[in-house]
Each structure stands twice: as C-alpha cells, then as structure tokens.
Chains A and B, each alone.
Chain A
Amino acid sequence: MKLHEYQSKTIFSKYGIPIPKGRVAATAQEAKQIAEELGGRVVIKAQVLVGGRGKAGGVKLAKDPAEAAQLAAQILGMDIKGLPVRKVLVDEASAIDQEIYFSITNDRAAKKPVMIASAAGGIDIEEVAAKTPDKIIKSHIDPLLGLREYQARDVAVAIDLPREYMKDFVKVAMGLWEVYKATDATLAEINPLVITKDKKLVALDGKMMIDDSALFRQPDLNEMRDTDEDDPSEIEARKYGLSFIKLDGNIGCMVNGAGLAMTSMDVIKLFGGEPANFLDIGGGASSEKVTAAMRIILTDPNVKAVLFNIFGGITRCDEVARGILIAMEEVKPKVPMIVRLVGTNAEEGRKLLENANMITAETLADAARKSVEAAKKGN
C-alpha cells in the first residue's frame, strides 16, 4: 500500500524528522487560506500516488495567497498519468542549497533492510543510479540490531555531507529507521532531503510503501488507504479476499494459486489469446468466493470466454464445482466456460458440472487452446 506525500511527511514529523510547515487542501479556497496562514511563498503539490508529478506540472510555486488559490484550482483539475488530483499539499517554500537522496527499504537478496543515500538527490535519482552508481551509497542494517548511529555517520561522510550537518543527519536517519520499523514500511524515502539556505536539514518530499501483510497490526495506516488508483473490480475482489488484477485481454481466468494463475495467463498467450485478468481464488475456495470471482470477471464487457483451471490440493474440486453451479445460476453468463479440474475430488467435481453446459479440458494446454478458440468465436 502506498501513502501520499502529506501522509508520509506527517509520520516523519512524529518521529522527529523536520518537514516544511504546511497542510493538505481539497479546494482552492482551502489552499488560499493555508497560504495566508503560512505567509510568504508556498509550494502547491498534487497528491497522487504516482511518480513524476513535477514533470507533469503537478508542483508549482506561488508568490502569494491569490496565486496559491489560482494554481491550486488548476492542479486540482488535473489528471496525472490517469489519476485525478483530489488533494494538494500547500507547503512553505524553502530556499535550497543542496538536495540529498535518503531512504530505507528492503533488500530481498540480502534479506535485510538497506539505507540508501546520495549527494545527488532530487527528481532524477533513478538516472543517477543507472548512470553513476558510485554516487549511490548503500548500507545494510541488521534487522535484529537495528540501525546504529555510527552507520548513519559513515553514510554522511560517504556522501560528503558538510560536517556541521552530521548530527542533524543522524537524527533524521534514526528517525526514518523508527518510521520504517513502526509502520512496517517496505519503503520510507525522503527525496529530496534538503539543506536550506538558513542552514537546516528538512525532508521536502516523502514517499512510503507499507507491507500489505502487516496491515493487521497497522489499523491507522489501513484507514489511510487511497483506493483512487485501483480498478473498482480490484477493490471488490479485495473484499472477498481474492487476488485480482484487471488486464486488457478477453479471456477471463479463475485459478487457484498465484503461480498457476500466472502460468495459465502465459499459456493462454502462448496459444494466441490474451488474458482479461489475473485471479487467484486462493486455497480452500468457498462457493461464496467462487461466485464473487465469477461476478467480477463477467463485469468486464471485454470477456468473451472464461477459463477455470483448478488443481485441487487444499482446495477441493467438488467444492469449487458447487461454487461454479451457484454462480452460474446467479450470474447467468452468456459467454462460453472452459473448465479443467484436477487433483483432490476432481472426479466428483466433474460429475457435478456434467450438465452445466461447460467445455471440459484434460490438460492446461488443452484448456488454454479451447479458451482461445471460444473467445475468437465470441468476437
């Protein structure tokens, strides 16, 4: 789960990381009021969950409250990479001497958190990483020991941070480590961390991603979820505990297990078709889940055929077959259904579906081939 800049920075601030004064606004009028409170120049920043806001014109400098209102109105009407801007952050403008990149994230290969810093902070950090990787400093953190202050000092030296900022930098680093740990973040990023002309270290921008598997112990963060970027069918699927991703093809897929679901998509493609979705109904899928899954797949008007590929293990094929029958009754699908059941109770499952007017298949390749043919006929 991604957090907005304003949400991330509010969390940073709680852990002692200095951030600019500012607040979030949903209207031009609110933006104007915040600008009046702050006095002086302000930055208006679109709050959307994609990168490249600045380049898309979603970040603007306003010299007075009137201009703040005007720019806020303009940005609030924008779409950035398909996402509508519903909120803007109004921050006091900072006079900047240097921009630093600083983050803590998971290094899956090392099985440890890693602290990443660069003196070349700002919007083009990916380019810095690609072209001059030696300008990126990495330091792994022992997850049992936590970040030690000496490691933060070493990183400060490695990025040639002016010595007078060493203490403040260590404070920011330790704060960000606490943020990362307390929120179950997979990424806590400050880009840029700036040295201002009045000699302060300030987190100008913030970005966080939270581990979805840890949300059970992060109820406050879970409430911050912004579902704007999600497809409505993906939100619906989440309600039923289904793992669903909408794609552009015309063959709906219902599969148990993520690896097998991805493979079913691959095999559809191999035989010249295009999958309409990724859908993992998970282990031990109940008829309620199967019904919800079928409803979600069939709300997509592009779907011309649906492939069911169930390899029973924990999941019992007869239970899935019962779910399919209930779903057929409720949803009354008009597109051809191709079903393949193997494994636990497959025989019972097949018997249940005998009179259900479905196309059956023995192997995955066979099922994919039949689905592609059926979808072509439907077009």
Chain B
Amino acid sequence: MSILVDKNTRLIVQGVTGNEGLFHTTQMVAYGTNVVGGVTPGKGGEWVLNGKLPVFDSVKTAKEATDANATIIFVPARFAADAMFEAADAGIPLIICITEGVAVQDMMRVRNYLDQKKVRLIGPNCPGLLTPGEAKVGIIPGDIAIAGNVGVVSRSGTLTYEVLYAMKNLGMGASTCVGIGGDPVNGTNFLDVLEMFEHDPKTEKVIMIGEIGGNEEERAAAYIGSKMTKPVAAFIAGQTAPAGKRMGHAGAIIEAGAGTAADKIKALEAAGVKVAKHPEEIPTLL
C-alpha cells in the first residue's frame, strides 16, 4: 500500500511531445511507472518512445483507448487550466499538474470545478508523486529515494529532494512522497495528505515540509494535534525571508504578518511536531 499512486496506476501524459513532457515521460517509464499513453492535440496517431507509447488528440480518446486512471500535465502555463478542465471532463479521477506559473484566477476556477466533480488534483507548480519502487509520477529523481514507511508531504520541489536524499543516506525510506506545490491556490493541501497517510497502513511516520505564506501549515497542525496518531517531523522554509517579498513561489509571500515561519513553527510544536532547524536534520527527529 501507499497513497495516490502505485504499480497499478495507469498514467497518461498531457503534453507528452513537448521537451519537458518527453524527457520526464522517458524517466518515468525507465523507473517502471505504468505509462499507458500521451496526449498532444494535433498529434493523435503518432507514437513516441521508439514506437512504444501512443499519442492521442484528447484526454477523452486517450482514456477510451487505455482506461487511464491518472494524468500528469506538462503543458505550458497558459494552457494548463484548459488541460485540467479537459482531464476532469474526461473522467480522470487523479490529475497531477507539474506546470509552474498558472494564473491564480484560472486556478480558482479549476479548483472549484474539480471539487464539484470530486476530482483529486495535485499541484500545480509541484514535483509530483513518488512511491519508491512502484511509481514515479512527476519529476522527482527516482534514485534519491528508497522504499520505506515514512510518508513525505511538501510544498517545495528541490527542498523535497534534499530531504529524501538525507533520508536515504540514513537508510530511511518513503512510503509515498507527495509534492503539493507552492502556489496560493492548489488542488491538494497538507491536511488532505496527512489524512491519507494517517489511514495508510504502510505509512508509520510522516515528514512535512512547509514554507512561509498562507495558513495550511497551521491547519495541518490543528489536525495533527487532535486526530493524528502517527509521529510527524517538520521543517518550515523561509525563516529569514523578509516580509512582503515574493520568494519565487507565488504562495510564499508574507502579507501583513500572516503566514510567518515563526507562527507556523509555534503551531506545529504546540501540536507535538518536532521541527528541524535545517532540512538534513529532519530524518533524525523521527
């Protein structure tokens, strides 16, 4: 068991013929992920990966032909909202959007529409999912993590790699690693993933990697304090970030004093979470 993706996931790739899409599809297939097809409007009928992977014009036709149950999106930001709507309308229950820089108002429309359809979205602006040894659905380098019993959830990309790598160096493996993305409006938040880890028999401990901005870490802390039985260790990035400045992630902005690292750390510690001083320290706290 694991959460969200495993070896039975039947994945399609939206934007499969683009530079990024093709590179990462190759990587995902090499890792052993069950990629069943790709979508690029106007290129239906072609094949990629040396004739091994069929390309379809639409998500609907891809789903009909492959019975896909998850999609990963690599299309450019201006087309990403449309790609998410398309996947939801085609009946794909799990959408992972890697694309960075999707407009906030687009994301609000997407999120509200997907909620009505009960479709699960991971991202956007995220590194995706990794269930070590079973499925890599995203861009997390496969060789930096080993399989194990620690659930990892993070708002960041490369910082997540840092933590997975530190875990591996200590011989500690992950059940599933979920990159939820750094945007202010995204599909899945810490709380959702913590609930999944709490109910996943293979996950025994959890690592949570947050950052400044918003109040998702505080809401997660409330859940950990009241409902969670599994131990959680955390790290919050941006402790030295100046207020009001946008630190690359659209979500990592401190407005009017809300969402500071100090507040988040305080809330997490009050909920019994061990908070690391630097990322390499996190695995040692579990």
**CB-based nearest A residue for B77:** A213
Report yes or no: B112 in contact with A258, Cβ–Cβ below 8 A.
Answer: no
**CB-based nearest B residue for A257:** B158
A15 CA to B248 CA in the complex, in Å? 32
Report yes or no: A365 in contact with B165, Cβ–Cβ below 8 A.
Answer: no
A238 CB to closest chain B CB, in angstroms?
Answer: 12
Contacts of A108 in B (CB 8 A): 184-185, 214, 251
A254 located at the interface, meaning its Cβ lies under 8 Å from any Cβ of chain B in the complex: no
A184 CA to B157 CA in the complex, in Å? 26
Report yes or no: A311 in contact with B78, Cβ–Cβ below 8 A.
Answer: no
Given A109-B214, A143-B109 in contact, is the A312-B103 Cβ separation under 8 Å? no
Residue among A111, A211, A263, A269 making CB contact with B111, cutoff 8 Å = A111
**CB-based nearest A residue for B160:** A259
Question: Which residues of B (201-231) have their CB < 8 Å from a CB of A?
Answer: 209, 211-212, 214-215
A368 CA to B277 CA in the complex, in Å? 13
Report yes or no: B241 in contact with A313, Cβ–Cβ below 8 A.
Answer: no
By CB atoms of chain B within 10 A, which of A275, A313, A343 has the most?
A313
A129 CB to closest chain B CB, in angstroms?
Answer: 9
Q: How large is the interface on B (under 10, 10 to 19, 20 to 34, 35 or more residues)?
A: 35 or more
Question: Which residues of A (89-133) have their CB < 8 Å from a CB of B?
Answer: 106, 108-109, 111-113, 126
Report yes or no: B280 in contact with A365, Cβ–Cβ below 8 A.
Answer: yes
Report yes or no: B141 in contact with A344, Cβ–Cβ below 8 A.
Answer: yes
Contacts of B158 in A (CB 8 A): 255-257, 259-260, 311, 313
Residue among A111, A245, A364 making CB contact with B278, cutoff 8 Å = A364
Question: Which residues of A (11-44) have their CB < 8 Å from a CB of B?
Answer: none
A342 CA to B108 CA in the complex, in Å? 36
Contact digits for A131-152, partner B, Cβ 8 Å, 1 yes 0 no: 0000000000011100000000
Question: Which residues of B (270-286) have their CB < 8 Å from a CB of A?
Answer: 277-280
Given A142-B112, A364-B280 in contact, is the A313-B127 Cβ separation under 8 Å? yes
Report yes or no: A106 in contact with B185, Cβ–Cβ below 8 A.
Answer: yes
A313 CB to closest chain B CB, in angstroms?
Answer: 5
A344 CA to B144 CA in the complex, in Å? 10
Report yes or no: B240 in contact with A214, Cβ–Cβ below 8 A.
Answer: no
Given A106-B184, A259-B209, A263-B278 in contact, is the A214-B159 Cβ separation under 8 Å? no
A256 CA to B127 CA in the complex, in Å? 13
A105 CB to closest chain B CB, in angstroms?
Answer: 10
Report yes or no: A260 in contact with B184, Cβ–Cβ below 8 A.
Answer: no
Contacts of B211 in A (CB 8 A): 259, 262
B245 located at the interface, meaning its Cβ lies under 8 Å from any Cβ of chain A in the complex: yes
Given A213-B101, A266-B240, A365-B278 in contact, is the A261-B248 Cβ separation under 8 Å? yes
Contact digits for A358-378, partner B, Cβ 8 Å, 1 yes 0 no: 000001110010000000000
Question: Which residues of A (316-372) have their CB < 8 Å from a CB of B?
Answer: 342-344, 363-365, 368
Contacts of A186 in B (CB 8 A): 104
Contacts of B100 in A (CB 8 A): 283
A277 CB to closest chain B CB, in angstroms?
Answer: 11
Contacts of B154 in A (CB 8 A): 259
Report yes or no: A275 in contact with B247, Cβ–Cβ below 8 A.
Answer: no
Report yes or no: B139 in contact with A262, Cβ–Cβ below 8 A.
Answer: no
B250 located at the interface, meaning its Cβ lies under 8 Å from any Cβ of chain A in the complex: yes
A368 CA to B77 CA in the complex, in Å? 34
**CB-based nearest A residue for B179:** A259
Report yes or no: A314 in contact with B20, Cβ–Cβ below 8 A.
Answer: yes
Contacts of A157 in B (CB 8 A): none
**CB-based nearest A residue for B186:** A111
B155 located at the interface, meaning its Cβ lies under 8 Å from any Cβ of chain A in the complex: yes
A144 CA to B88 CA in the complex, in Å? 15
A154 CB to closest chain B CB, in angstroms?
Answer: 20
Report yes or no: B108 in contact with A113, Cβ–Cβ below 8 A.
Answer: yes
What are 6 of the A-B contact pairs (CB < 8 Å)?
A108-B214, A258-B248, A261-B248, A267-B279, A343-B165, A364-B280
Given A112-B112, A245-B242, A245-B246: 10 more A-B contacts, CB < 8 Å: A106-B108, A106-B184, A113-B108, A211-B103, A212-B250, A259-B159, A259-B237, A266-B237, A311-B162, A342-B161
Q: Contact residues of B with A, CB < 8 Å?
A: 20, 23-24, 77-78, 100-109, 111-113, 127, 139-141, 144, 154-162, 165, 182, 184-185, 209, 211-212, 214-215, 235, 237-242, 245-252, 256, 277-280
